[in-house]
Amino acid sequence: EGLQGKDDKKDNDDGFYIRRCVELARKAIGCTSPNPVVGCVIVKDGEIVGEGFHPKAGQPHAEVFALRDAGELAENATAYVSLEPCNHFGRTPPCSEALIKAKIKKVVVGMVDPNPIVASRGVAKLRDAGIDVTVGVEEDMCKKLNEAWIHQMQTGNPFVTLRYSLTIDGGLSDDLGEESMEAGGYYSRLLQEQDAVIISSKSLEKHPLPESKEPKSNQPLHIIIAKNPSPVIQIPKHTHEESASKVIIFTDQETVVGSEQGIETLVLDNTKLTTILENLEGRGLCSVLLDLRGGFGDFDEILKGVEGNLLQKLVVEVLPVWSESKEDTTALEAVKISQRAGLKNFEPRKEGKSV
Ligand code: AOF
Ligand code: ZN
């Protein structure tokens, strides 16, 4: 009955169930780092009998929640997972074994796990146990879902995104569209996905600490670049006290006074992106946002020093306003740098009221 839409293809469309896995996984965006977001669905006779997602590092994986949800109905059922089931004892025991124990008959996997300690061993283990395994369904969607985590796993570097706003006439703007910052707005969602956000100390003279307004999210670590700083940088209060992040100040002078608690000050020879990333090693950061709000000045060295593939993504918001200052060349500079860094992942945004 009804039209033959996507929803009617349940019985034979593996993609339908993997897309549901992705939808479930998205519920935990901003909560799982340094782990990926993963969703799992258990299907029997064309019906979903169990669903789950990985909520947080240290907590059980998606498969475990879905199997619990399915209970005895998992026997002879098909398990769909957006990421290959793991086969290692990490913070939690292997999902491959949990699926075998639950007598799952078939497993459909969105993508292979790039984590070297998993890397197809989960699939091999399932096949050894006589389970039919399909790999690579809606693979692009699954990869996009965890692009930062995958990049970090494969390169050892965090996934770095550059963001700035432009005016209609191509000037660099210090503003953000109002809707951008609200829950559901692109800026709020962008921050939700970040482990750390790098801002200029100048932006704090006018703007609050960038915090995601999404209802469920960790707040990013705040990294403040202070070049030739005034003696004291006033750090605005976090509005989300319960999830307040740490603050690190990177400076090339020893004049910064971090008077408040929880503020770490590191004096660096330079603030090139490589130097900054080296000094962030060991903090388990999968994603870092370079936010040009507050001006180009402190970012000059960061962006000039960009080499190789250190920048992965560029997000540009175009505001429906004209430039106020004559600093338009800085925007051109930023665009040039973005191009030089070979940014293929260009996501233009147009927010605010139309003109
Ligand atoms: C899965 N299902 O839901 C997730 C997986 O320290 P652990 O035990 O949490 O293991 C983390 C690693 O397990 C992580 O780096 C990734 O390779 C995999 N994550 N695997 O089967 C899940 N979150
Ligand atoms: Zn697992």
pLDDT digits (tens, 9 = 90+) for 180-209: 999 999 999 999 999 999 998 888 888 888
Q: Which residues make Cβ contacts (< 8 Å) with residue 91, sequence separation at least 6?
A: 57, 58
Task: Return the ligand 1 atom nearest residue 115 CA.
Answer: 17
Q: In this predicted structure, what is the pLDDT of residue 301?
A: 79
Per-state percent for the chain, helix, strand, coil, to nearest 5:
30, 20, 50
Rounded mean pLDDT of 77-82?
98
Query: Which residues sit opposite 47 in a β-bridge?
Result: 44
| Ligand 2: centre distance to CA 61 (Å) | 5
Q: In this predicted structure, what is the pLDDT of residue 66?
A: 98
The region of weakest confidence among 166-170, 291-295, 321-325, 327-331 is 327-331
Rounded mean pLDDT of 54-78?
97
Taking the CA atoms of the chain, what radius of gyration do you get in angstroms? 23
Asked if the model's pLDDT at residue 354 lies above 80, the reply is no
Reported confidence tier of residue 352, pLDDT bands at 50, 70, 90: very low
| Ligand 1 and 63: CB distance under 6 A | yes
Q: In this predicted structure, what is the pLDDT of residue 104?
A: 98
User: Residue 65: nearest ligand to its CA?
Assistant: 1
pTM above 0.80, yes or no: yes
Indicate which residues carry an active-site annotation: 63
Q: Which residues make Cβ contacts (< 8 Å) with residue 161, sequence separation at least 6?
A: 190, 194, 287, 288, 289, 290, 311, 312, 313, 314, 315
Interior CA angle at 294 toward 293 and 297, to 5°?
110
The token pair at 342 is 């070979």
Q: Atom 2 (ligand 1): residue with closest C-alpha?
A: 61
3-state DSSP assignment of residue 198: strand
| Ligand 1 and 35: CB distance under 6 A | yes
Mutation to probe ligand 1, out of 24, 51, 86, 87 (largest number of atoms < 8 A from CB):
86
Reported confidence tier of residue 316, pLDDT bands at 50, 70, 90: confident
Q: In this predicted structure, what is the pLDDT of residue 325?
A: 64
Strands 159-166 and 287-291: parallel
The region of weakest confidence among 98-102, 204-208, 276-280 is 204-208
ipTM rounded to 2 decimals: 0.98
| Ligand 1 and 113: CB distance under 6 A | yes
Q: What is the mean pLDDT of the chain?
A: 83
Q: Which of 258, 350, 252, 345 is nearest to 301 (CA)?
A: 252
| Ligand 1 and 90: CB distance under 6 A | yes
Q: How far apart are CA 180 and CA 186, in angstroms?
A: 5
Q: Which residues make Cβ contacts (< 8 Å) with residue 342, sequence separation at least 6?
A: 309
